[in-house]
Amino acid sequence: KKARTAAQDHTYVFVMWVHGYLNGRDGINFKSRPLNQAGITQLVGDIYEICKVDEGKLFLDAIRDIR
């Protein structure tokens, strides 16, 4: 349980960083990239789709591919 909680916390930090990075890169638009459950689910899905094609891709390179 402790390891799962730590993994969730680490994942949350990465997702919040990605959200901030994308908003800095593309401009803040809560309509296209909301900071709510649906938006976070979409963002995680975007990351998953990019990384499943190339599991060795660097994290920042994967994030740069999100549109």
pLDDT in tens, 4-34: 999 999 999 999 999 999 999 999 988 889 9
Angstrom distance (rounded) from CA 28 to CA 20: 9
- Model confidence band, residue 63 (pLDDT cutoffs 50, 70, 90): very high
Q: Which two tokens stand for residue 47?
A: 């990351």
- Model confidence band, residue 38 (pLDDT cutoffs 50, 70, 90): very high
Q: What is the dihedral of CA 43, 49, 54, 59, to 10 degrees?
A: 0
Q: Residue written as tokens 């591919």?
A: 65
The overall average pLDDT reported for the chain is 93
Evaluate whether 28 touches 12 at the Cβ level (below 8 Å).
no
